[in-house]
Amino acid sequence: MDSLLLIGNQDERLSKFFEKMGYDLLSSPDMSSIVSVVNNKTVDLILIDSRMDADWVELCQYLRSESTTKDLPIVCLTSDSKKIGQASEKGVAGIQYISLPYTVGAV
């Protein structure tokens, strides 16, 4: 079973959708638990809600620098086009974006 790491605000609709799709859901509401999750669990996809308290661009930089997560697909839910530009300027590659507000079907 593929596993999905949800980082940030937990949307119940999204969680139920991914469970129905057969994903094993892992969650990390904040930066402090992310390292533990990615080092101790097999993760196949990372979904970041940019409304989290931490800077998601820095989080993406971190995830791209770690051997266990550097090649994983990352999807970011965001409405901040300025931050998307910052991610690009900082060389954070391979991130897919879905605009907020989103529909479950768009994800």
CA-wise closest residue to 107 among 1, 2, 28, 6: 6
Mean pLDDT, all residues of the chain = 82
pTM, two decimals, is: 0.82
Cα within 13 Å of Cα(82), Cβ side: 1
The tens digit of pLDDT for each residue in 33-74 reads 888 888 888 899 998 888 776 788 888 888 898 888 889 999
The span from the CA of 34 to the CA of 1, in Å, is 20
Residue 104, pLDDT > 80, answer no
The predicted pLDDT at position 91 comes to 77
Which CATH architecture describes the domain 3-99? 3-Layer(aba) Sandwich (3.40)
Q: Are 37 and 59 in contact (CB under 8 A)?
A: no
What is the domain partition of the chain in residue ranges? Answer: 3-99
